Structure 1
Amino acid sequence: MPKPASEHDFLEQCFDDLFPMFRSITGPGIEQSIEYLTQFMPLVLEKVPSGSKVFDWTTPREWHCQRARLWGPNGALICDTDINNLQVVNYSTPIDRDVSLEELKQHLHHLPDLPTAIPYVTSYYKENWGFCISNDVYESLSNGTYRVLIEAKFIDGGVPFASCVLPGESEKEVLLSSYLCHPSLANNELSGPLALLSLYRRLSSWKKRRYTYRFLVNPETIGSLCFIHRYQDHLNKFLVGGLILTCVGGPAERLRYKASRRGDTIMDELMFALSEGKEGCGISLEYQNFDPTSGSDERQYCAPGFNYPMGQISRTVYGEYDGYHNSLDDKQFMGIDSLLNSVDAIERVLTVFEISGYPVNQSPFGEPQLGKRNLYPSMNSQSTRDKSDDMTIDSRTKLNRILTLLNMGDGLNRMRVVADACHCSVEELRYTVEELEEQGLLKLEVRS
């Protein structure tokens, strides 16, 4: 790929390259898509072999579909996955024979309320075959004999997933994940992996990372279960927070955060504060409690046996727009600019999350001497209390924040609680925290 002129152009080129790949939960399409992303982030591909027991699931055989076509009685081509790979039911069994219209209709999927849209339909765990067509085409079908040809096979292979890590000062880990298994869908497929890619590039350039960040792409549901199954001990020890990225494009004006099952993690607390307008980050956010009846891979991470501190972030939410799981979900609907707005907001959230842990006073026996560290006005008078000494807050406010941080820094109070006591946002405490850290007076502990 030639070097793009901007982040917008880079993501648009990635979208155009990835969109036509014939993806499923296994097989060449998803592995080709992962290989493409490895040009820009050092993803390492892993596979859980077909037939493996993964908690209550058994991993399926790989689906390799070369091409699927449907011809009408007059020989006209009605469906062809070389033209649109949504036109076959994903994971269809192979078939090559003639059928009547009556039999064919039992294997056709269409959307009467969206006459021009081609639906996305899957049958991963039950053998079946079928085609997906627009309702307009469906209504035009005439009696006669139809030729169906689905050139597909199932082989022993495995369920793939891929991850890479940006190390931080702490081994404690933040997991950023998205699924990569839907063919030819934009907001409900590529927006998540593209946002993940953009975040990897941005976080790579951070001068300091308190946490270690893991970036993960996997097929939805079975892929996240395979990852958890293989990395459960690691997650139990190191995972302190994370986000599932899904549907982060589209026209919605604000992001939506779906909380973890716990509802009281550091990320939950931060997102709730943002939704209440307490953080002043310029991020418009809707907060939603955890709901196991819909969503994405957060449902697996938040299963009661794991109960990991994983939330989900989205913009134009699955199931709430006409193009959900059909061909109307295209690049124009997703919007590269909308995707970048989401990336901007998520990066801003992560910068606040970085200092949202538990402050611990490193000199807790009495107040430390601030004057010798240039943290206390050299003359305690009205003029020094009112004078701005850091171009942001007056010296009295800064001193109050220092004293409050040190006094509440007993390892029991999250930074959000301290910020409330200081009548400011966590983000506004950043520079004070960093100054105290530089002086060896404060340490931030990171926990789930």
Structure 2
Amino acid sequence: MLNDKIYALGKKLYPLNRSITGKETLKSLKLIKKEIPRLKIKFIKSKIKIFDWVVPSEWNVKKAYVIDKFGKKIIDLKNHNLHLVGYSVPVKKKINKDQLLQKIYSLKKQRNAIPYVTSYYKKHWGFCTTHNQKKEIERNYKSKDKFSIVIDSSFNNKGKLNYGEVIIPGKEKKEILISTYICHPQMANNELSGPLVTTALVKYFFKKKNNKTLRFIFVPETIGSIAYIKKNLEYLKRYTIGGYVLSCIGDDKEYSLISTKYGNSNSDFAAIQAFKKLKINYKKYSFLERGSDERQFNSPGVDLPIASILRTKYGEYPEYHTSLDNFKLVTKKGLNGGFKVSKTAIENLLNYEIPFSKYLCEPKLQKKNLYNHISFKGKSKKFSRNLLNFLQYADGKNNLQKISKLIKLSGLETRRIWKILKKNKLVN
């Protein structure tokens, strides 16, 4: 369960101005490490090329505000981290009201919400306010009035992109990957719910004797997962049998599942079984409606069967990507609901027996006395055919339950065949 201590961790993490790089992101990882000491904090250097991307310069900001002609700060980063467009370049100048309004982002349909806006890969600057606040500036000042703009930010080309990793070894080298992200400032559901539930899962599974290895990563979204894949691709492809991205998993409204690319992986089945076991109604979204790091893990050439478990899906609740995404939206009850579903889905994956044939092409079953040496029309080959059918689907992607359905045999008969093949060292 997600206890009061982990919930309190969320309150500590909430005010930090995280981004895809920077000191506040590193500070967030260090706070998480206090709760799970096994967390290893690692980094990738800025300006390193990763596939079609380049790790950006490390960005930090000390202060950012707008001062009116009377010396009053009318917009101030200190009041809310979302007031500044993420990755804004340094600015120190005076501009008029019309120029200022062009640099302010607001939401007409959510007049009391500050929007979350970023510009990671193009030089830009700007501020975000509620629409009501923007309208006040429009009403209360003349076009010729001047405003002082101060953005004390910095970019370090020799900086770092930090991420966290916890590996809990199991009886097998086969792994389950759980990924969450740590790059959104001052938002509770779209940011902190994932790391909080993941922290609780690490603590829970660390106390268990697990059949398979568990790999938990805390990465900046998109660029962090791409960097992690670049660094670990060969190993991940060899050992990962499934897993989940955990995001927006702390409200107490809905439950959601975003499928893997083809929607038929062990990750999909394990999550569906978890919802059924817990008697929870949920919304199932196709991979075409993806939006987080399942995009990278399922991409061609990577092909890791990673689904996403959420409460209300990102973009489907009005507080998403605004200052209204706070701890009024995220509750202990909501977080614990997300924890239970994730835990149960992971336990299903841990318990799945996923055979993998040790040979390319069909093995010579005659050498094991599993196939008749005499080929004669009319002689029954049903048992040998069942063995070969099993081996065809023993590709590391199907659990015993799924193979049973594919080869149209009972669960008991499928398990008997699996034991025979294991005894003869034909599958793992």
Deviates further, 412-421 or 143-152 = 412-421
2:182 equivalent in structure 1: 180
Residues in 2 aligned to 1:187 and 1:419: alpha-carbon distance in whole angstroms: 39
Say whether the 8 Å CA contact 1:73–1:145 is kept in structure 2: yes
2:362 equivalent in structure 1: none
Residues in 2 aligned to 1:441 and 1:130: alpha-carbon distance in whole angstroms: 66
2:257 equivalent in structure 1: 257
1:31 aligns with 2:26: yes
Closer/same/farther in 2, CA of residues 441 and 232 from structure 1, 3 Å limit: closer
Q: Secondary structure at the match of 1:223?
A: helix
Gaps of 5+ in 2: 357-367, 371-386
1:150 aligns with 2:148: no
2:103 equivalent in structure 1: 107
Residues in 2 aligned to 1:302 and 1:339: alpha-carbon distance in whole angstroms: 26
RMSD: 3.0
Q: Secondary structure at the match of 2:337?
A: helix
Say whether the 8 Å CA contact 1:257–1:314 is kept in structure 2: yes
User: Alpha-carbon deviation of 1:297?
Assistant: 0.6
1:225 equivalent in structure 2: 226
Residue of 8, 32, 55 corresponding to 1:13 = 8
User: Alpha-carbon deviation of 1:33?
Assistant: 0.4
| Aligned AA (1:290) | F
Residues in 2 aligned to 1:130 and 1:268: alpha-carbon distance in whole angstroms: 41
| Aligned AA (2:285) | Q
Instruction: Name the count of aligned residue pairs.
Output: 384
What aligned pairs does 1:324-363 form with structure 2 within 5 A after superposition? 324-358=320-354
1:86 equivalent in structure 2: 82
Residues in 2 aligned to 1:313 and 1:69: alpha-carbon distance in whole angstroms: 38
User: Alpha-carbon deviation of 1:316?
Assistant: 1.1
User: Alpha-carbon deviation of 1:147?
Assistant: 1.2
Residues in 2 aligned to 1:201 and 1:284: alpha-carbon distance in whole angstroms: 27
Say whether the 8 Å CA contact 2:114–2:129 is kept in structure 1: yes
User: Alpha-carbon deviation of 1:283?
Assistant: 3.6
- With normalisation by structure 2, the TM-score equals 0.82
Residue of 193, 198, 201 corresponding to 2:200 = 198
Say whether the 8 Å CA contact 2:258–2:290 is kept in structure 1: no
| Aligned AA (2:176) | V
Say whether the 8 Å CA contact 1:163–1:214 is kept in structure 2: yes
User: Alpha-carbon deviation of 1:236?
Assistant: 1.6
Gaps of 5+ in 1: 1-5, 367-405
User: Alpha-carbon deviation of 1:345?
Assistant: 1.4
Q: Secondary structure at the match of 2:251?
A: coil
User: Alpha-carbon deviation of 1:317?
Assistant: 1.1
Say whether the 8 Å CA contact 1:50–1:158 is kept in structure 2: yes
1:397 equivalent in structure 2: none
1:286 equivalent in structure 2: 283
Residues in 2 aligned to 1:266 and 1:80: alpha-carbon distance in whole angstroms: 48
User: Alpha-carbon deviation of 1:359?
Assistant: 6.4
Residues in 2 aligned to 1:185 and 1:442: alpha-carbon distance in whole angstroms: 54
| Aligned AA (2:233) | Q
User: Alpha-carbon deviation of 1:233?
Assistant: 1.3
Say whether the 8 Å CA contact 2:48–2:55 is kept in structure 1: yes
Residues in 2 aligned to 1:323 and 1:350: alpha-carbon distance in whole angstroms: 29
- What does the per-residue CA deviation read over 1:121-176, in whole Å, with 9 as the maximum and x for residues that have no partner? 00101111111111111001122111111111111212222201000001111110
1:389 equivalent in structure 2: none
Identity %: 31
Residues in 2 aligned to 1:346 and 1:423: alpha-carbon distance in whole angstroms: 29
